[in-house]
Structure 1
Amino acid sequence: MLNAFKKPEIGFPQQICAGLYLSMGAFLAIESKSWSPFFGAVLFGLFMSMPSISLATIRRGGHWRSAGIAVAILFGSLLLWACAGVAERLYFLHGDTYPAWLSNGDLGSVKAAENIYGQVEHLCGHSGPRMIDYKSHGQIVLRCDPSAFWPFTRTYVGHQGDAQ
C-alpha cells in the first residue's frame, strides 16, 4: 500500500525516449514551419509509451491498477483500429471489388467519368473527388481524400452504366 502514494519514477530509458520524440517533433516543426508535425510526433511518442505506462501502473497496484488496465485496453484498441485501416487501404488499392458496407454511399449507375464529377461535387466539397478507381465487374470507387485514414475520408461506390 505504500507504493500507491509514492511519486512515480521516470527511468533513464523513458527520459531518452521522451527526449528523442520531443527533438524529432521540434525538428519536423522547424522544417515544415508548422506546429502540427510537432504534436504528431509527441502523440506518436505517447502512443509508443502506452504499454510501458500501463505495465508500470498495473505493477503499482491500488487504484493505479485500474488506470493501467484502461491504458492497456486503449492501446490495444488503437492498435486494432490502425491494423483495420491498413487492411482497408490495401483492399481498396488491390482488391477486385470494394465492399458496399465500407462505403459512405452508393452513386448508382454512372455512364462516364465526367458524370462522376457532376454527381458527387456536393459530396466531396468544392474540390471534387480526388481518386477514382475502376474495379472489376464495372464497379467504380471514388475516394474524396485518398491520403486520409479510412474512417476520416468519404468513399462512394458506383457502377458503370451504358455508354450510350
Structure 2
Amino acid sequence: MTESVSSRNGLWFLLLSLLVIVLDQASKLWILANVPLYYDINILPIFDITYVRNYGAAFSFLSDAGGWQRWFFTGIAAVVSVLLTYWMYKTDWKEQRQLWSFGLILGGAIGNVADRLVHGYVVDFLHFYYQNWHFPAFNVADIAISCGAALLLLDGVLDMKKQKVVA
C-alpha cells in the first residue's frame, strides 16, 4: 500500500535543512582556510568578502557581553531547532510554504550553532556597503534564516487573506 502525497508530513524538509547546513559550513570552511581575519576581497563596488567573527547574535547584538552569550544563543537555537523539527513533523505536506520556511530556518540555526560550538563565534563574511554605510557582515545561514522568516510571514499574510475570502 502506498502513502498518498497529502498524508506525508514535513520531515522530508529536513533534507533542505541539511543542504543549508552543508552550504553554510562549506562556505565557512573555505573562508577560514583562505581569507585572513578582517581581510577584504572586493567583488563588486558595493560588496566584499570580509572574514569577521561574530560573538553575538544578529548585527553583533551582545557581542561584547563577556562570553555567556555563546551558551545563551546556543540554547535558544537548540530549543528553536527542536520546535521546528516537531512542527515539521506535525505539518502536512500540502503546507509547502510553511515547510520551506521551517527547513530554511532550521538549517540556518544549526549552521550558526555549529560555529558557536566549534569556534566560540559565528563566521561571517558577506559584506555589503555603499560609501560610508555598511551593512553588518553575514553568512549563508543568516540568508537561510532571513528567507525562511520572510516566507513564514508571507505564508501568514496569504493565509489571513484566504480566510477573509472564505468568510
TM category (shorter chain) comes to: under 0.3
> Larger Rg: 1 or 2?
1
Q: Relative contact order, CA 8 A, sep 6+: which one is greater?
A: 2
